[in-house]
A and B are shown apart, each in its own frame.
Chain A
Amino acid sequence: MNKKVLSIVKRYQADKTRLLDMLWEIQRQYDYIPHGAILTLADELNLSVNDIRETSSFYHFFHMRPAGKHRFYLSNTVIARMNGYQQVLMALEQATGATLGSMDVSGTFGVYDTACIGLSDQEPAMLIDDVVFTRLTVDKVQWIIAQLQQGYSAAEIANPQQLPTHSIAYVDQLVETHICQAGPVFFQQETDYHRLLQQCLTHDPDAVIKTVLNARLQGLGGAGFSTGEKWRLCRETASQTKYVIGNADEGEPGTYKDRALLIRSPKEVFLGMIIAAWAIGAAQGILYLRAEYIYLKQFLETELQQLREAGLLGRHILGREDFSFDIRIQMGAGAYICGDESALLESCEGKRGTPRVKPPFPAQQGYLGMPTTVNNVETLAAVTRLMEKGAAWYAGLGFATSAGSRLVSVSGDCARPGIYEVEWGLTLNQLLEQVGAVEPWAIQVSGPSGECVAVELSGERRFGYDDLVCNGSLMIFNRSRDLLDIVHQFMQFFVTESCGICTPCRVGNVELRQKIERIIAGKGCQQDLDDLLSWGEIIRRTSRCGLGATSPNPILTTLAQFNQLYQAKLIASQGTLLPSFDVKAALQGHEQARIKVMQIESEPSKEVVK
């Protein structure tokens, strides 16, 4: 083992910032990360053993103990639950003999839950050993497991024609990409990248930044910060070394537009990074790709290689001795929080994905302490397009406060789930009409971190930074859906994904989840609703990063627009005992415990054990 691990370490030149890559390679080798491997890593990297565990235990795809030769990660989103998640899970458990969260006795199969894997238009879906299976049914699951038991690998089952794994045909075989409404900004295929980049490089960096500023492009990852401003801040720093990072850690449940962009317009994304590099003066770039999109990696590597061969990437881009820039792909390992730009930087450095204390901002001190611009995949693609068509063209799209358009990943109760390009200003009702929403009732805009709105009350609101801000996720629920249960699942999501570095998010979200459980169980009173509001507000305002700042939203926004659902669950106090106090539960423990103890005592083996 030592030798294999040493060769992995050697390949990464014992660079501890590449710890995630090394851990991935070790896990691919042994199906988990053995203690012995960690000992070797610790020795070679001059880290304490616990330091390595500190990183590895942060990411949910890393296993410190044997976790099964084939590891299944079933996406547990609310959309999956609307489409047969439960039956699929039962079939999985039955066919593999493994129960959720563990492996079967033979160590062949491990079945695990995972948050949204960016396939809400084709769920239930799951990852198995670096490939993905979508539109799962009980039959399909049984078939897959039977194939695995016959000795076929997951890769062979997913790719029976053995298409080259770097080809677009391979990617298309694994996942469907539904672009239902494209343009004017995205998925325009006619771009001449060579000409475009040449044209960009004739302008000095300041002029490029000015164009982006004039286009009024705002970051499309969710925060909506001015992209030009971000670049300007980065450019103005004195440092010689700067970095451009493409954020492809698309983790917001319900979002899959970045996946569509990486599949259909990868060069537009990469060109955006190259333009950013020119603008800020960076020589190195990283595309931080979420682990859930591992099946895109080789395809994207090939796209990068094509750009290098065309002279658009690498040393002396387009023959210019003053401009060299290359991009590497950094794989994540399962942590929603890494979508936060400073957490992403930590992760790129081989550490826990903990959001940093700000300031300093990444534009001042980012990757490895150097000025860095982190832009979302969609923002980068928009940059490419606006450089091609001009700032005025882009700024002319949308309306006064919100220029341009954005991609929305639509899922849930509608006829045509898929990707829709929405020019800012469109109303919610107009979009619902377009996607063939079926009796829409509640719309989760921007995923759990966004807001849940009632169509009745908010249908005429328009998408825009001053009204219905959208980060790319839109889930449609009709009246048959249990909204409080959905709220509970979203709270569970935040509890699972909280990094735990700050008190309000780590502790508070557990409290909110428990309150929701109490209300759903019919043990809540008006005081509990008041608590939800005030506690939610405290968490929202005091948390360290965007996760905590938005985590109470599922509760706060449904309390605002669906208050009657909560009211209907409340009970009045009967007598002086609090409604939340469960007398039955308080008293049944004794008898249960007594029976349990007496049963143990009556077992004949007990004496021997003693």
Chain B
Amino acid sequence: MTNSHKKTLFSHDLPATPMDPALQASRDQKIKVAMIGLCGCWGCTLSLLDMDEALIGLLDKVTILRSSLTDIKRIRQRCAIGFIEGGVANEENIETLKEYREHCDILISVGACAIWGGVPAMRNEVELSSCLEEAYVDSITAVANAIPTIPYHEDIPRITTKVYPCHEVVKMDYFIPGCPPDGGTILKVLDDLVNGREFDLPTTMNRYD
């Protein structure tokens, strides 16, 4: 899904008001952190927000480049720590993840979907054609007597044959399981990394559900 031949404007290319130079300078000093979502339910991203006021303590050191607040997934500058929610389920996910990997020093899979595909990966046990048929042809909401159509357009990302965990597509550095993991767990990881400690998820914080 390259747009080189087309005049398409992505959200990350939109013109933005230049930042106050002082603020920009202070941000440049900080450790850049981002979180984006691929194919998931946003639960893990909400867990990031669940750090609540605990995040304030870290703000002297970090600045957040990407989060669910804007849902801009592309990143054009170097980022120290990238969190990812969701697995790879379509063409756009592949490109986003690839680019994210290129720009992040450390990449972390957050939650069941990023780690093994999660709920979306339940479709891996059936043929993609059956999924499409179920969704667009045999759906109870299908319009009666209409010619069934499976959406297909160059602007719509193609769905991948299977849903892939992020680490099967690019190298991932760390993993935080959970569906979703607690905000406290993400905070623990972030705090360790920001303060130069090794990634270490204690048994008590590790959960698969």
In the complex, A touching B (Cβ < 8 A):
yes
Which residue of A577, A587, A588, A597 is within 8 Å of B137 (Cβ)? A597
Q: Chain B residues with Cβ under 8 A from A591's Cβ? A: 152, 158
Q: Kindly supply a per-residue 1/0 record for chain A positions 64-83, scoring 1 wherever the CB is within 8 Å of any chain B CB and 0 otherwise.
A: 00000000000000000000
Kindly state whether residue B164 has any CB partner on chain A within 8 Å: yes
Q: Kindly supply a per-residue 1/0 record for chain B positions 152-190, scoring 1 wherever the CB is within 8 Å of any chain A CB and 0 otherwise.
A: 100000111110100011110000000000000000000
A594 cross-chain contacts in B, Cβ below 8 A:
129, 132, 150, 152
B94 at the interface (CB under 8 A from A): yes
Q: Does B27 contact A (CB under 8 A)?
A: no
Interface positions of B from 84 to 106, Cβ below 8 Å from A: 88, 91, 94, 98, 101-102
Chain A residues with Cβ below 8 Å from B133 are 597, 600
Interface bits A575-608 vs B (CB < 8 Å: 1, else 0)? 1111011010111111111101110110000000
Contact partner of A587 (CB less than 8 A), chosen from B91, B132, B171, is: B91
- Pick from A577, A586, A587, A598: contact of B98, CB below 8 A: A577
In Å, the complex CA distance between A597 and B170 comes to 31
Of A577, A580, A590, A598, the residue contacting B158 (CB under 8 A) is A590
Please, how many residues of chain B have a CB less than 8 angstroms from a CB on the other chain? 27
Q: Are A586 and B171 in contact (CB under 8 A)?
A: no
In the bound complex, do residue A586 and residue B164 qualify as a contact, i.e. CB atoms below 8 Å apart? yes
Does B52 count as interface, using CB distance less than 8 angstroms?
A: no
Chain A residues, Cβ within 8 Å of B88 = 586
CA distance A577 to B161 in the complex (A): 17
What A residues does B160 contact at CB under 8 A? 586-587, 589-590
With A577-B170, A598-B150 as known contacts, state yes or no: A593 contacts B164, CB within 8 Å.
no
Q: Are B161 and A586 within 8 A (Cβ)? A: yes
Verify if B192 is at the interface (C-beta below 8 Å from A). Answer: no
Contact of B168 among A575, A580, A587 (CB under 8 A): A580
Cβ-defined contact, B128 with A589, below 8 A: yes
Using C-beta atoms within 8 Å of the partner chain, give the interface range for chain A: 20 to 34
Contact partners of A580 in chain B: CB under 8 A: 168
The residue from B94, B132, B161, B171 contacting A597, defined by CB atoms under 8 A apart? B132
What A residues does B170 contact at CB under 8 A? Answer: 576-578, 581
- Docked-complex contact B94 and A586, CB < 8 angstroms: yes
Query: Chain B residue with minimal CB distance to A600?
Result: B133
A589 CA to B163 CA, complexed, in Å: 11
Contact status B168-A581, CB under 8 Å: yes
A595 nearest CB neighbor, chain B only:
B129
A585-B168 Cα distance, complex, nearest whole Å: 13
Q: Is B71 an interface residue, CB under 8 A from the partner?
A: no
Residues on the A chain within 8 Å of B171, using CB = 576, 578
Chain A residues positioned under 8 Å from B161 (CB to CB): 585-590
Distance in angstroms between the alpha carbons of A192 and B160 in the assembled complex? 74
Complex CA distance for A583 and B98, rounded to whole angstroms? 12
Alpha-carbon distance between A591 and B160 when the two chains are bound, in angstroms = 10
Q: How far is the CA of A589 from the CA of B150 in the complex (A)?
A: 14
Return chain A residues, CB-CB under 8 Å to B148.
Answer: 601
Bound together, the chains give a CA A153 to CA B17 distance in angstroms of 89
Tell me if B60 is interfacial: C-beta within 8 Å of chain A: no
Say which residue of B98, B127, B131 sits within 8 Å of A576 (CB atoms). B98
Contacts of A587 in B (CB 8 A): 91, 94, 158, 160-161
Give the interface centre of A577, A597, A598 by most chain B CB atoms within 10 Å.
A597
Assembled-state Cα–Cα distance A598/B147 (Å): 10
- Please give me the residue from chain B that is nearest to A584 by CB atom: B161
User: Bound complex: CA of A120 vs CA of B107, how far in Å?
Assistant: 53
Q: Within 8 Å CB of A597, what residues of B? A: 129, 132-133, 136-137, 150
Residue ID in chain B nearest A581 by CB atoms: B169
> Does B128 contact A590, Cβ atoms closer than 8 Å?
yes
Residues on B with beta carbons closer than 8 Å to the beta carbon of A586: 88, 94, 160-162, 164
For A527, give the chain B residue with the smallest CB separation. Answer: B171
Which of A585, A588, A596 has the most chain B CB atoms inside 10 A of its CB? A596
Residues of the A chain whose Cβ atoms lie less than 8 Å from the Cβ of B102: 575-576
Q: Which residues of B contact A576 (CB under 8 A)?
A: 98, 101-102, 170-171
A575 contacts across to B, CB distance below 8 A: 98, 102
Closest to B88 in A: A586
Q: How far is the CA of A581 from the CA of B165 in the complex (A)?
A: 11
* Given A576-B102, A577-B169, A583-B94; A592-B129 close (CB under 8 Å): yes
Closest-by-CB residue of A relative to B133 is A597
Chain B nearest CB, measured from A599 CB (Å): 10
Whole-angstrom distance between the alpha carbons of A187 and B39 in the complex? Answer: 70
Q: Which of B101, B128, B152, B168 has the most CB of A within 10 A?
A: B128
A to B CB contacts below 8 Å, 16 in the list? A576-B98, A578-B168, A578-B170, A580-B168, A581-B169, A585-B161, A586-B162, A587-B158, A587-B160, A589-B159, A589-B162, A592-B129, A593-B132, A594-B152, A597-B150, A600-B133
Query: In the complex, given contacts A576-B98, A577-B169, A593-B131, what are 13 additional A-B residue pairs having Cβ atoms less than 8 angstroms apart?
Result: A577-B98, A578-B168, A578-B170, A578-B171, A585-B161, A587-B160, A588-B161, A589-B160, A590-B161, A594-B152, A597-B132, A597-B133, A597-B137
